[in-house]
């Protein structure tokens, strides 16, 4: 990384130059630096609204960067060790979507673990790719899906030599990493591309004590949620490419769905966050890891809760663990993760990232302070004191791998009917069903519904998970393929 | 010279105090610390722009958080002060011979050091051999305590500063557990006068109300506090602040005070209507909520 060049922030500097020129705006946006919408200025502040400007020559254009955005993208690529980087303004969803659309056409196979984010499945609905699932093991004690094992990858590739690519979570939401370097090696031997979903892995690029990053492992593309651990504004993201990708083709794919009015608030936040990470990321994430480790040891001392860490590493299905993730198994005190998640917010004014059936995840980042960690630990201890109960009636197991009958696109566009959940046993699902967060689908279009899955959905609903994805907003009815 | 310190009470109201000279300014790991010598209020210590106390009015605060619970609880032996880095509260407590031990848990070591240097009179509390000072986060210290204290005094001031963890439900829960079965907790309740502070005031009562069977709020006039009006919470497992007030016993001690009297004790719990209304509203909401939870 070129440390000296990393000190500049070309988009932000261009915005500042532009502000000083006091250009009269006869272009969009129509609020004209906020003058047309004083309430918005009150809410967001003059400086913020003033930065909400249009693409133009001095500020470049995200759809076809030639000057400051191009420089910012080059600096980003340098900081992340990539051959090319794209600044993204429609979330990491758009980065994931671009990865899949860049390597798959309709009918092409792609290898994925089942515990992917919904954006992966939705990209396949768009392009008609065919998912081939690589089996993932579940940790029976805490009920979470683990990484993919190298042997499973090899088996899947041998069985599907025509597959175009494999997608790997690096890490999973819970912090689990697969042996990405070895998977890259096998995939490239089979002529397949490797896509890394690094929605939870920005920090891996900036600290040597953390698991290996996608680009360092040789992945061909990586979708990086800068707005999560990287500190940029919500909805901003980065897409990275290795040297074997055709960057201009990837740009065309991005432009299929990307807005032509990219927000400079998002772009400038990416620019500044990249600079910040390049200059200070190493020490920042050292601190984050220390805070998370401290929290883990304090939480495990309470008893009942299990904040898991590197002890899960087994060299294969848990090849590595991202210690900045504070994932906590809660069923030891007789409460589901979602119940603890709700208690923390409603009773203790603490908002955590998510709670699911068995776990909660507290997101620790460069913005955290040790006194907030003390609050979280104190609250968990108080919850145990006041709400602990018998855990025998809890549903264990976070993850079911259903049978895949049709491609997501075929199922999504097929003739379908909406049936009450309890009448769908044996039917083929035509839509996504998931708890959000974490947004890992329980059912995807094209999968066969089973009794076990129906029970799981019932349990998740009863415990207060927010279910989403179905056409029916109350998730009482499920769209299934019409039987002839 | 026209040199003034201003404390912003809200975005639109400030109190200004003429300063003779600034005696200290520095940054600790947690906060900015300033010490001023003023014409009217004597020396004054300021954390992150908020006045913590002045020589002129610190007696009000210190007496009110100590004598009120001490006149109610029949036998206090073990005391915990959370915050209290200036030593003022500890100093008043050491007047009671039956107290065996006082733990002062102040996270900011620098604050203790500065207090000792510029306010040796106040910091005298630390010289008593019954007092132990620990530099640790209050929540962390409390996590390891069970049935230990007769009295806990929360002497941290700013619910939005680095000590905000000490104004939370987990804090009250931890205090409950750290107290003996007849223990009392006294805490800062802020001032409900300005709109901006009202929600914090309400939330504090809501949280304490859920954690302790007896909860009363009492008041004092403290000139350097926002709106000059400050409230304290009295949360207790067994003793009621008025029904269990032992006037005779306290008077027999013959302690010298400048603010507290047992008469004032009773009056301090008689609140203005608007304050009482806020508290009753929160109690009703909490009752309704717990009823719903049972159903």
Name the residue ranges covered by the structural domains of chain A.
Answer: 5-278, 281-387, 408-481
> How many angstroms separate the CA of residue A94 from the nearest CA in chain B?
38
Name chain B contacts of A382, Cβ cutoff 8 Å. 169-170, 173-174
Contact flag B169-A382 (C-beta cutoff 8 Å): yes
What CATH number was assigned to the domain covering residues B58-294?
3.40.50.150
Name chain B contacts of A369, Cβ cutoff 8 Å. 162
Nearest CA in chain A to B163: A371
pLDDT for position A59: 94
What is the rounded distance in angstroms from the CA atom of residue A332 to the CA atom of residue A239? 39
Residue ranges of alpha helices (H) inside B105-217 are: 109-118, 138-143, 169-178, 195-211
Name chain A contacts of B210, Cβ cutoff 8 Å. 347
Q: Mean pLDDT across chain B, nearest whole number?
A: 91
pLDDT for position B161: 56
Nearest CA in chain A to B146: A385
Contact flag A370-B177 (C-beta cutoff 8 Å): no
Instruction: Give the mean model confidence (pLDDT) for residues A461-472.
Output: 87
Confidence of residue A316 (pLDDT cuts 50, 70, 90): very high
What CATH number was assigned to the domain covering residues A408-481?
3.90.105.10
pLDDT for position A4: 87
Catalytic amino acids of B? 155
Specify whether the CB–CB gap between A236 and A88 falls below 8 A.
yes
Burial (CB count <10 Å: 0-12, 13-18, 19+), residue B241? buried
Q: Mean pLDDT across chain A, nearest whole number?
A: 93
pLDDT for position B157: 63
Q: Is the pLDDT reported for residue A374 higher than 80?
A: yes
Q: Calculate the alpha carbon distances from A153 to A148, A192, A317, A406, B201 in Å.
A: 7, 12, 11, 22, 58
Q: Is B82 on the interface with A (CB under 8 A)?
A: no
Fold of B4-54: Spermidine Synthase; Chain: A, domain 2 (2.30.140)
Q: Which long-range contacts (CB under 8 A, 24 or more apart) does B49-56 make?
A: B49/B7, B49/B8, B50/B7, B50/B157, B50/B158, B50/B161, B51/B7, B51/B224, B51/B225, B52/B86, B52/B157, B53/B86, B53/B88, B53/B122, B53/B224, B54/B224, B55/B119, B55/B121, B56/B223, B56/B224
What is the rounded distance in angstroms from the CA atom of residue A427 to the CA atom of residue A253? 35
Nearest CA in chain B to A348: B169
Task: Estimate the crossing angle of helix A91-103 against helix A118-127, to 10 degrees.
Answer: 40
pLDDT for position A435: 84
Name chain A contacts of B163, Cβ cutoff 8 Å. 371
Contact flag B165-A374 (C-beta cutoff 8 Å): yes
Tokens of B276: 């009482």
Nearest CA in chain A to B206: A347
Instruction: Give the mean model confidence (pLDDT) for residues A396-412.
Output: 84
3-state helix/strand/coil string of A45-105: CHHHHHCCCCCEHHHECCCCCCCHHHHHHHHHHHHHCCCEEEEECCHHHHHHHHHHHHHCC
| Pick from A347, A369, A371: CB nearest B169 | A347
Contact flag B165-A381 (C-beta cutoff 8 Å): no
> How many angstroms separate the CA of residue B136 from the nearest CA in chain A?
10
pLDDT for position B287: 83
pLDDT for position A399: 67
Comparing A22 with A221, the larger pLDDT belongs to A221
Tokens of A378: 């104190």
Q: Is B146 on the interface with A (CB under 8 A)?
A: no
Per-residue pLDDT tens digits for B28-49: 988 899 999 999 999 999 999 9
pLDDT for position B166: 67
DSSP lists the bridge partners of residue A239 as A86, A223
Instruction: Give the mean model confidence (pLDDT) for residues A81-87.
Output: 98
Contact flag A379-B143 (C-beta cutoff 8 Å): no
> How many angstroms separate the CA of residue B184 from the nearest CA in chain A?
19
What is the rounded distance in angstroms from the CA atom of residue B3 to the CA atom of residue A158? 81
pLDDT for position A440: 82
> How many angstroms separate the CA of residue A295 from the nearest CA in chain B?
11
Instruction: Give the mean model confidence (pLDDT) for residues A323-329.
Output: 95
Q: What is the ipTM of this complex?
A: 0.78
Contact flag B142-A374 (C-beta cutoff 8 Å): no
Closest CA to A143 of A380, A386, A358, A437: A358
φ, ψ for residue B25, nearest 5 deg? -150, 130
Specify whether the CB–CB gap between B87 and B52 falls below 8 A.
no
Instruction: Give the mean model confidence (pLDDT) for residues A447-463.
Output: 90
- Predicted TM-score of the model (pTM): 0.85
φ, ψ for residue A377, nearest 5 deg? -65, -45
Per-residue pLDDT tens digits for A148-204: 999 999 999 999 999 999 999 999 999 999 999 999 999 999 999 999 999 999 999
pLDDT for position B196: 82
CATH 3.40.50.150 residue ranges for chain B: 58-294
Q: What percent of chain A has pLDDT over 70?
A: 99
List residues in chain A touching B: CB distance below 8 A: 298, 347-349, 369-372, 374-375, 377-379, 381-382, 385-386
Name chain A contacts of B177, Cβ cutoff 8 Å. 385
Confidence of residue A141 (pLDDT cuts 50, 70, 90): confident
Instruction: Give the mean model confidence (pLDDT) for residues A61-72.
Output: 96
What's the average pLDDT block by block, 10 residues per block, for chain B (295 residues)?
91 94 94 95 93 93 97 97 93 96 94 95 92 92 93 78 69 93 93 87 87 94 90 96 97 96 97 94 85 63
pLDDT for position B295: 53
Q: Is the pLDDT reported for residue A352 higher than 90?
A: yes
Closest CA to A395 of A342, A462, A467: A462
- Domain A281-387: CATH architecture, name and number where available: Alpha-Beta Complex (3.90)
Confidence of residue A396 (pLDDT cuts 50, 70, 90): low
B295 Cβ contact partners less than 8 Å away, ≥ 6 residues apart = none
Confidence of residue A292 (pLDDT cuts 50, 70, 90): very high
Q: What would you measure as the largest C-alpha separation in chain B, in angstroms?
A: 67
Fold of A5-278: 3.40.640
């Amino acid at each position: 990384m070129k440390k000296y060049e990393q000190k500049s922030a070309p988009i932000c500097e261009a915005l500042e130059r532009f502000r000083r020129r006091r250009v009269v705006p006869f272009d969009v946006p129509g609020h004209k630096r906020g003058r047309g919408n004083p309430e918005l200025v009150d809410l967001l502040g003059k400086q913020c609204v003033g930065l909400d400007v249009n693409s133009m020559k001095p500020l470049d254009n995200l759809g076809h960067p030639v000057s400051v955005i191009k420089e910012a993208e080059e600096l980003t690529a340098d900081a992340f060790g990539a051959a090319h980087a794209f600044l993204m303004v429609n979330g990491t969803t758009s980065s994931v979507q671009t990865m899949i659309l860049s390597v798959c056409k309709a009918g092409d196979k792609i290898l994925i673990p089942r515990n992917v984010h919904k954006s992966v499945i939705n990209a396949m609905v768009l392009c008609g790719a065919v998912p081939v699932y690589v089996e993932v093991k579940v940790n029976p004690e805490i009920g979470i899906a683990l990484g993919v094992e190298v042997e499973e990858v090899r088996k899947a590739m041998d069985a599907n030599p025509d597959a175009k690519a494999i997608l790997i979570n690096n890490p999973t939401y819970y912090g689990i990493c697969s042996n990405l370097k070895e998977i890259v090696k096998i995939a490239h031997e089979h002529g397949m591309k490797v896509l890394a979903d690094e929605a939870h892995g920005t920090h891996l690029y900036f600290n040597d004590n953390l698991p290996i990053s996608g680009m360092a492992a040789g992945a061909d593309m990586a979708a990086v949620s800068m707005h999560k651990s990287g500190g940029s504004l919500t909805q901003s993201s980065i897409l990275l490419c290795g040297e074997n990708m055709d960057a201009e083709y990837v740009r065309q794919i991005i432009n299929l769905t990307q807005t032509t009015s990219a927000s400079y608030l998002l772009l400038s936040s990416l620019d500044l966050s990249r600079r910040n990470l390049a200059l200070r990321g190493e020490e920042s994430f050292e601190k984050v890891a220390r805070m998370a480790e401290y929290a883990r040891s304090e939480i495990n001392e309470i008893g009942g809760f299990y904040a898991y860490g590197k002890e899960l590493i087994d060299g294969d299905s848990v090849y590595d663990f991202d210690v900045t993730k504070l994932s906590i198994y809660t069923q030891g005190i007789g409460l589901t993760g979602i119940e603890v998640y709700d208690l923390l917010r409603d009773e203790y004014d603490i908002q955590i990232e998510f709670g699911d059936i068995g776990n909660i995840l507290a997101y620790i980042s460069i913005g955290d302070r040790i006194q907030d960690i003390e609050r979280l630990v104190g609250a968990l201890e108080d919850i145990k004191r006041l709400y602990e109960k018998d855990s025998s009636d809890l549903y264990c197991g976070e993850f079911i791998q259903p049978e895949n009958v049709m491609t997501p696109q075929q199922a999504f566009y097929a003739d379908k009917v909406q049936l009450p959940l309890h009448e769908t046993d044996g039917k083929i699902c035509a839509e996504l069903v998931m708890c959000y967060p974490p947004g890992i689908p329980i059912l995807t279009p094209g999968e066969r519904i089973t009794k076990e899955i129906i029970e799981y959905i019932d349990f998740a609903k009863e415990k207060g998970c927010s279910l989403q994805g179905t056409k029916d907003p109350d998730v009482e009815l499920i769209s299934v393929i019409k039987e002839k | 010279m026209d040199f003034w310190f201003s404390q912003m009470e809200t975005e639109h109201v400030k109190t200004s105090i003429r300063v003779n000279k600034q005696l200290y300014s520095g940054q600790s790991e947690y906060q900015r610390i300033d010490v001023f010598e003023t014409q009217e209020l004597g020396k004054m210590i300021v954390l992150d722009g908020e006045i913590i106390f002045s020589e002129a009015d610190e007696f009000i605060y210190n007496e009110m958080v100590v004598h009120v619970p001490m006149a109610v609880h029949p036998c206090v032996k073990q005391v915990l002060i959370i915050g209290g880095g200036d030593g003022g509260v500890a100093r008043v407590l050491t007047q009671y011979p039956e107290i065996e031990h006082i733990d002062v848990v102040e996270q900011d070591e620098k604050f203790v050091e500065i207090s000792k240097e510029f306010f040796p009179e106040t910091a005298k509390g630390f010289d008593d051999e019954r007092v132990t000072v620990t530099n640790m986060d209050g929540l962390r210290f409390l996590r390891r305590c069970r049935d230990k204290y007769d009295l806990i005094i929360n002497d941290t001031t700013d619910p939005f500063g680095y000590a905000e963890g000490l104004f939370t439900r987990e804090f009250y829960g931890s205090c409950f557990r750290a107290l003996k079965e007849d223990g009392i907790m006294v805490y800062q309740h802020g001032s409900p006068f300005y709109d901006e502070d009202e929600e914090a005031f309400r939330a504090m009562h809501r949280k304490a109300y859920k954690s302790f069977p007896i909860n009363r709020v009492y008041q004092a006039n403290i000139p350097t506090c926002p709106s000059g009006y400050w409230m304290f919470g009295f949360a207790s497992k067994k003793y009621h602040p008025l029904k269990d007030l032992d006037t005779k016993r306290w008077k027999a001690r013959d302690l010298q005070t400048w603010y507290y009297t047992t008469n004032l004790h009773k009056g301090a719990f008689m609140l203005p209507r608007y304050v009482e209304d806020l508290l009753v509203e929160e109690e009703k909401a909490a009752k309704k909520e717990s009823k719903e939870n049972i159903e």
